[in-house]
Amino acid sequence: MVIVGAGQLGSRYLQGLAACSHRLRIQVVDPAPKALATAADRWTTVGGTGTRHEVSFHQGIGEVSRQVEIAIVATTALRRSDVVEAIGAHADVGSWILEKVLAQSEDELRRIVAAVGASMAWVNTWGRSTPWYQQIRGSEAVGPIRFHLGGASWGMACNAIHFLDLMCWWTGEDLVEVNVAGLDDEWLIAKRPGFMEISGDLFARYSGGSTGVLRSGRPSDPGVSAGRDSLDVLDVEWSSGRWRIERPTSEEDGLAIGADGRRLPGRIERQSERSAALIDGLLEGSGCSLTDLPTSVAQHGILIRALLARWREVSGPDAECVPIT
């Protein structure tokens, strides 16, 4: 298998693979020697060198095998379509795991789909695969909902797709519209260099009547980049009840409180905790609980089209991509 992108997320994917029950040959690709060194250190930290897995590190896709059972693409959205095309041109890939945000334009989304071809592919929007969210979903009847998601400067451009997808899964509906009229006029420098963030309100509408608002504040310090704060709360109303989910992206101490007083503590698993079960499941043929690529592409297309229209108001009508990741 191949991991392309050895940065913060890619190296956490790698760490998690140390616990896989299947023996793996893992090839890690990143053009930056520093990123490869960090990934190697993290592999050693979790005891990966003492496992039966084989790991190698490479600066180019041309150095890896021509037959790849699973390809994980953990790069930024910038030029991700180029990376997927390069992998697809070099190797015969059985299955793909792609990071969100998938791309920065609808044309890049189409290129990713074409490069993946007939192979199975999933996108790492983790809501569907999170036991905590599965438990909350299982406690309510499927049907139209209203939701409100809010916090300080939590990186809405980068992370909104997680919750837009989560609501599709909770309701069984399709996302049909993202309205950006409530966004603030000024775009913000993101915490990841070279990318931008947003504040204000995003409005979402779904095929079965569900609606929602995603709200993000601005950095409290004008000198601090956007996206460094945590989400405060997710309120979800079903016809049968209501859940207030405090710290909905916490990796330690989230809490869901039902209208009837039920309390469900939970958290979001770290990528290093999720990787082994994800890959073992694919290798065993038991499927994948992440969002399939066609579903995710449809959602991304709606979000990116709306954000790009707003970005053109700032950068000019000829902008082809929205600089989010």
pLDDT, tens only, 235-278: 999 887 899 999 999 999 999 999 889 999 999 999 999 999 99
> Is domain 134-265 in CATH 3.40.50.300, yes or no?
no
Q: What is the pLDDT of residue 239?
A: 81
Domain boundaries, the chain: 2-126+273-291, 134-265
pLDDT in tens, 29-82: 999 999 999 999 999 999 999 999 999 999 999 999 999 999 999 999 999 999
Instruction: Taking residues 203-219, report their average pLDDT.
Output: 96
Angstrom distance (rounded) from CA 241 to CA 123? 30
Structure tokens at 285: 């043929």
Residue 141 has pLDDT above 80, yes or no: no
Instruction: Taking residues 281-291, report their average pLDDT.
Output: 92
The model carries a pTM of 0.94
CB distance 265 to 53 below 8 Å = no
CB distance 109 to 300 below 8 Å = yes
| Backbone dihedral angles phi then psi of residue 22, each to the nearest 5 degrees | -85, 140
pLDDT in tens, 86-97: 999 999 999 999
Structure tokens at 203: 């409005």
Q: Please give the order of strands across the beta sheet that includes 211-216.
A: 175-179, 200-206, 211-216, 146-151, 231-238, 241-246, 254-258, 263-266
> Is domain 2-126+273-291 in CATH 3.40.50.2300, yes or no?
no
Q: What is the pLDDT of residue 306?
A: 98
